[in-house]
Amino acid sequence: MYYTYFQSPFCKLLIAGEDGILKQIDFLSSENSVPIPPPDWHLDDSPLKDAIHQLEAYFSGELKQFSLEIALEGTPFQCLVWSALQKTAYGSTISYGELARLIGNPKACRAVGTANARNPLPIIVPCHRVIGSNGKLVGFGGGLELKQALLDHERRHC
């Protein structure tokens, strides 16, 4: 597995993948929270150039839809939720309830929220676009301030 750090306009990210396939993005909220990658990971950005290029284009407002080769490793239910998330339009939002209905399981709002929280590729799989049924921001691994910043960024570039 190869990894590198990417400085977005809002926070630092750790991105990781192997064999040209992106597998993980982590938000690094401060220098003190930098996770220690496993010893068999290699710090090298060259295998991640396409992901870096597309993230740069996204953050500059030029890219609305990612076209990266990704690997989403999770339960069948999680993968179903993550697949539906990828269909959520740039600059728009969807509630947990709407997402549950979209996957054909309208009573699974909490399970959808749990799957959303375990998304290994935030931004690429846009879990920041999921909001509460009342329209308010709720739950996000990078924090609500970052979630709001990502939504504002997308709305500015629609």
C-alpha to C-alpha distance for 6 and 39, rounded to whole angstroms: 20
Within 13 Å of residue 158, how many CA atoms lie on the same side as its CB?
Answer: 11
Name the token pair of 56: 């740069």
Select which of 79, 109, 127, 158 is catalytic: 127
Q: Give me 157's structure tokens.
A: 């570039």
User: Which residues have CB under 8 Å from 39's CB, separation 6+?
Assistant: none
Clarify whether 158 is annotated catalytic. no
CA nearest neighbour of 157 among 90, 94, 85: 90
Task: Give catalytic residues, as residue numbers.
Answer: 127
